[in-house]
Amino acid sequence: MKDCIELVKPYLQQVVKPQRYLGGELNEIKKEWDSVQCRFLFAFPDVYDVGMSHLGLQILYEAVNRRSGLLMERTFSPWLDMEAIMIKQGIPLYALESGRPAADFDCIGFTLQHEMSYTNVLQMLKLAGIAYWAKDRGDQDPLIIAGGPCVANVEPLAPFLDAVVVGEGEELLPALLETIGRHKEKRRGAVDKSLLLEELSALEGVYIPSLKGPVIKKARLKEMDEAVFSLTPLVPYIEVVHDRMMVEVLRGCTRGCRFCQAGMIYRPVRERSKEALLAQARALRDNTGHNEIALTSLSSSDHTCIKEIVEELTAEFNKERISISLPSLRANHFSVSLAEEIQKVRRTGFTFAPEAGSQRMRDVINKGVTEEALLATVEKAVSAGWQQIKLYFMIGLPGETMEDVEAIAELCEKVVQAGNRVMKEQGRRGGLRVTCAVSNFVPKAQTPFQWVGQAGQEELKAKQRRLKEKIKDRRISYNYHDAFTSMLEAVFARGGRELAAVLAAAVEKGCHFDSWTEELRRDSWRQAFEELDMDMEALATRNFDLDSPLPWDHLDYGVSKSYLLREYKKSLEAAITGDCRYKGCSGCGVCAFGIDETTGGGSRRIGENILHGEAVDQ
């Protein structure tokens, strides 16, 4: 057996963060290679520091390794310094647990978290010595699969993949791997790839790109309390992006923001009970040593019992100087008492996402927050002691005018004024600092805006410049996303299989780590598109006919296409759709997707007007 970890050790002094390549972390699971039927390598197409912050990795690591016949190990994209050494020395991509080459595994699974990671997928296959194209791989090669939010439209990568896990993978991935194990056992360790893919296609939620077949329904969990969750997660020995414990308080969202893919594909809302969350948090404290615990979800403050959960954790964890964080708060759910609880150990900046500056645009995108609610929230936050607030916005939204863009600056100035007024009343010195973070709208599959093209490059740049000119107050810092990167995202978010050739060409020209601004090779990307006679900007900005088939129509996430179309048409009228948990069923179709009306895990029923123990009017 080749141990690649031993092979890289002589070169570790030549690279930054050598611990990225060694494994051996606290709570690492190492199984005997020959004791299992199927060996799976989880591949994160970015550096270790990013990948080890991904809660999904920890969940799947537990879900697979708790089964006696399965083994899961990890690999990440080596950074450029180590990548160059591995290529020069002939060291292949390898697993951190065993040091075995990636090509030794039965199955390699890539998680697709964003479109700008696609070239890293191909680069990792290249480093592993595995052919890009599925048609070029034989029975002896590992099965290459993918999962994650980007498989909502996986077609640009489909020609490289043998199978795709559509939806939630905690139960489906182990079932897929056990099917591979049984197939090998029947054939005395050998694999007949075409026969195996037929077997896998029988699993609900598994899409086989090489097979023509019916619509694929997503895999989904019916409730959260019994769902797999690691109480002994891997703990890195170096600082990673999110260096903390994480518990998932709920999954899904029914707010219905029309730009938000996650809010559509992770429906319905399912909560973990307060009792389960407290037990998980205590186990993580005992088994990790982290000094922060994050209560994560698309909107953590939507949990029925969030106030009680925070209060109990704070009372218990404060003694050990462990802080509580809520990474996703809504402006209309902020309360001073909740704020005071989460800042008892340490205070960080506060973040809200109005998404648009004008009320008209917030209605277009169905963002259920008013200017009055935001300013009231700011006043509460400042009165509770905060002096820094970050606001997230988007430009280039469908129907947006330059006046709507200017309204972003105006809203930020109102926030500063509201905060300063409170500080003055309290006799506090200084002033409120506001960060205005602006991204470019990227239309996504499986959303009401899936038919709408992105704004052109010149329009986006003009709006970025206008906003910069409009922000006069020095207490407001302004940052924005690169327009070229957003264009690439838009191309691949709504593209078809024709883009696979562009991806392969771009990788051969040296493109990867495209989400890292300093590594983005704009000229190489332009050449890749031009050589294949494709217009990058035309692909990003194109509108789809409302009655035309879409590249992702064969993937069913439970939210009906007719509902998405209704929501798109309502956006043209700036008409609001209420949250179905409080305003009644909006007819998205997910509850008829084989899931009953209970939200699971001790949660309330959909439509019940109870939140945080109080009646609400939304």
164-204 pLDDT tens trace: 999 999 999 999 999 999 999 999 999 999 999 999 999 99
Q: Indicate if the pLDDT at residue 357 is higher than 70.
A: yes
- For 460-471, what is the mean pLDDT? 97
Asked whether residue 270 falls in the same domain as residue 186, the answer is: no
Asked whether residue 292 falls in the same domain as residue 399, the answer is: no
Domain housing 69: 4-217
248-296 tens-digit pLDDT: 999 999 999 999 999 999 999 999 999 999 999 999 999 999 999 999 9
CB atoms under 10 Å from CB of 401, counted, come to 12
Considering the domain boundaries, does residue 278 fall inside one? yes
Asked whether residue 353 falls in the same domain as residue 337, the answer is: no
Asked whether residue 320 falls in the same domain as residue 364, the answer is: no
Asked whether residue 23 falls in the same domain as residue 168, the answer is: yes
24-51 tens-digit pLDDT: 999 999 999 999 999 999 999 999 999 9
pLDDT of residue 597: 39
> Whole-angstrom Cα distance, residue 253 to residue 267?
6
288-344 tens-digit pLDDT: 999 999 999 998 888 999 989 999 999 999 889 998 888 766 766 666 667 777 777
> Whole-angstrom Cα distance, residue 132 to residue 500?
10
**Total structural domains in the chain?**
3
In sequence order, which residues have a C-beta less than 8 Å from that of residue 237 and are 6 or more positions away?
19, 24, 25, 26
Considering the domain boundaries, does residue 499 fall inside one? no
Q: Indicate if the pLDDT at residue 345 is higher than 80.
A: no
CATH of the domain at 362: 3.30.750.200
CATH of the domain at 584: 3.30.750.210
Asked whether residue 168 falls in the same domain as residue 302, the answer is: no
Average pLDDT, the chain: 92
Q: What does pTM read for this prediction?
A: 0.94
Structure tokens given for 229: 């969750």
Question: Terminal CA-to-CA distance of the chain, rounded, Å?
Answer: 62
Considering the domain boundaries, does residue 511 fall inside one? no
Nearest to 257 by CA among 14, 441, 522: 441
pLDDT of residue 338: 73
> Whole-angstrom Cα distance, residue 192 to residue 177?
15
Asked whether residue 397 falls in the same domain as residue 325, the answer is: no
Asked whether residue 450 falls in the same domain as residue 551, the answer is: yes
Asked whether residue 332 falls in the same domain as residue 433, the answer is: no
Asked whether residue 184 falls in the same domain as residue 203, the answer is: yes
Considering the domain boundaries, does residue 528 fall inside one? no
Contact of 567 with 448, CB cutoff 8 Å: yes
> 160 exposed, middle or buried (CB, 10 Å; 0-12, 13-18, 19+)?
buried
Considering the domain boundaries, does residue 232 fall inside one? no
Q: Sheet holding 245-248: strands in order across?
A: 245-248, 292-296, 323-325
Considering the domain boundaries, does residue 59 fall inside one? yes
pLDDT of residue 351: 84
Q: How far is residue 239 from each of residues 5, 21, 290, 497, measured CA to CA in Å?
A: 21, 14, 11, 38
In sequence order, which residues have a C-beta less than 8 Å from that of residue 400 and are 6 or more positions away?
356, 361, 455, 463
Considering the domain boundaries, does residue 371 fall inside one? yes
Strands 250-251 and 323-325: unpaired
Considering the domain boundaries, does residue 508 fall inside one? no
Asked whether residue 374 falls in the same domain as residue 465, the answer is: yes
CATH of the domain at 114: 3.40.50.2300
Asked whether residue 48 falls in the same domain as residue 182, the answer is: yes
pLDDT band at 582 (very low <50, low <70, confident <90, very high): confident
